[in-house]
Amino acid sequence: MLGLKVNYHGFFDGNFGIAEATRLNELALLQNHIEVNRISYQSESYLRTSDIFPDEDEVKINIFHININTVNAFFEKNNQLKLQGRYNILYWAWEFPEVPEQALKVLNFFDELWVPSDFCVNIFTQYTGIPVLKFPHPIQKVSFQEIFDRGGYKRVFLTIFDSFSTTIRKNPHLTIEAFLKVFGEDKEAVLIVKTHNLDRSKDTQKVLSPYMNLPNVKIINEDFSKEKLHGLIQASDVLISLHGSEGFGLTMAEAMAYGKVVVGTGYSGNLEFMNVNNSFLVRYNFIQTHNTKGLIAEGLTLAQPDVDHACEQLQYIKSHFGKLSLIQENAQNDVGKHLSLSTIGTSFKNRISYISSHLINQNSQIKESADQLFYITEIESLKNRIQYLERTLYNKVRKKINTFFLGLRNKK
């Protein structure tokens, strides 16, 4: 059990979901006496930002916590990584039953896949024969300062999302509509819509624009630190997430850790920690993605939350406000027990100990085939660039044609 060490590759810097999940996993490892070489990369260029560790080449276990949709670009940019003779693990969270073929080409070069929920386990075991193991994200409560002045509001509702995560999956407009149907212009209730990257997403700007000047809907577009975000969660009463799907649902688990009432779509990774005894689950139907403007693939399966049922849940909360202590206690206790740094760290330690004792150098998928992995990822990245250029060129040509015909109509 002594001397366990891993190279953990990921996006450790930044205030976004995968960075926070990576830091939490690292913390769980460290608190359970597993040494970690923190190998950090820039989230947009995929270039390494951390110094080289003296023993990095000698460490026999690599963990790559890289988004499934960027994994090809990552390995293309980092084709000097030492993979042969090591046990190589991918950590993925994924939101859809369908998995891109180009991602599967990468996956099957690795020894095993770690995921944060049973939802993800059930997806990937359909596509690969390598072990798929569940390690939920641990939840860390932090010290914070109050950052939201409740003013005269007696009921503070909150929804949190990254504008880059696509509105078709996060559905902030459905949350706002459900809130307005139940609370109307109630001056004692407010919905805080916390996002960031809004200035970089025209799609989200369009979706949120009708709600910008409502008296009891406050839209915050700011990149919060973890402490500030947790302060906002703590200052709120209810967190709402009418999402289409989550690989895990970190902010929902964080809110429950503070004993907050959580309303969420009853589908996907958040069922790892949410149930009818500790939260309010919303019914849904399935839809297929379409007209996504290239933000995500077409034809992926998502849940469409039932807004009427969401309103019923919010109406119940409104009618029983201040009398939901049992649900709040269950939420706090369940997350504290099952998603603690100690609990998840122990699971990490047990698996890494077994790998170190029994699997290294025995059945590594990547032996002399690393060059092939880098070749495949380079090809896939080039394909993606060509497709992007084709879409861009098509849009430019279409715009010019539309402008031309509009000019002809105006002349008439």
Give the whole-angstrom CA distance, residue 121 versus residue 269: 10
**391 inside domain:** no
Do the Cβ atoms of 248 and 116 come closer than 8 Å? Answer: yes
pLDDT of res. 295: 63
Whether residue 179 sits in one domain with residue 127 = no
Angle in degrees, CA 101, 107, 110, rounded to 5 = 160
CA atoms of 321 and 154, how far apart (whole Å): 10
Q: Indicate whether 143 belongs to any domain.
A: no
Predicted local distance difference test score (pLDDT) of residue 290: 80
* Pair 206, 332 in one domain: yes
Query: Do residue 199 and residue 268 come from a single domain?
Result: yes
Sequence length of the chain is 412
pLDDT score, position 1: 38
Q: Which residues of the chain have pLDDT under 70?
A: 1-2, 145-147, 292-295, 361-371, 375, 379-400, 402, 404-412
Does residue 12 sit within a domain? Answer: yes
Separation between Cα atoms, residue 20 and residue 114, nearest integer Å: 16
Shared-domain flag, residues 333 and 355:
no
Q: What are the residues whose beta carbons fall under 8 Å from the beta carbon of 292, sequence distance 6 or more? A: 166, 168, 298
Whole-model pTM? 0.88
Same domain, 178 and 309: yes
Strands (E), 209-305: 217-221, 238-241, 261-265, 280-282, 284-288, 301-305
The verdict on residue 329 lying in a domain is yes
163, 296: one domain:
yes
pLDDT of residue 377: 75
Domain boundary among 279, 312, 338: 338
Residue 177 resides in a domain: yes
CATH of the domain at 56: 3.40.50
Print the domain residue range for 99: 5-138+341-386
Among the listed residues 53, 268, 25, the one whose alpha carbon sits nearest the alpha carbon of residue 135: 25
From the list 67, 92, 120, 117, the residue with the least C-alpha distance to 252 is: 117
* Distance separating alpha carbons of residues 312 and 22, to the nearest angstrom: 36
Instruction: For residues 169 and 115, state if they share a domain.
Output: no
Residue finishing a domain among 338, 358, 376: 338
pLDDT of residue 2: 47
Q: Are 191 and 241 contained in the same domain?
A: yes
Is the distance from CB of 15 to CB of 251 less than 8 angstroms?
A: no
Q: State whether 226 and 165 are in the same domain.
A: yes
Residue 167 belongs to some domain of the structure: yes
Does 396 map to a domain? Answer: no
Task: Give the whole-angstrom CA distance, residue 213 versus residue 217.
Answer: 8
67 lies in some domain: yes
Q: Do 184 and 302 fall within a single domain?
A: yes
45: its two tokens? 């260029």
Q: What CATH number has the domain bearing residue 244? A: 3.40.50.2000
pLDDT value of position 410? 65
Q: Looking at residue 14, what is its pLDDT? A: 84
**Do both 171 and 320 map to the same domain?**
yes
Task: Based on the fold, state whether residues 278 and 359 are members of the same structural domain.
Answer: no
Distance CA 8, CA 62 (A): 6
Q: Which residues contact 391 (CB under 8 A, 6 or more apart)?
A: 294
How many separate domains does the chain show? 2
**Closest Cα to residue 237, out of 179, 308, 283?**
179
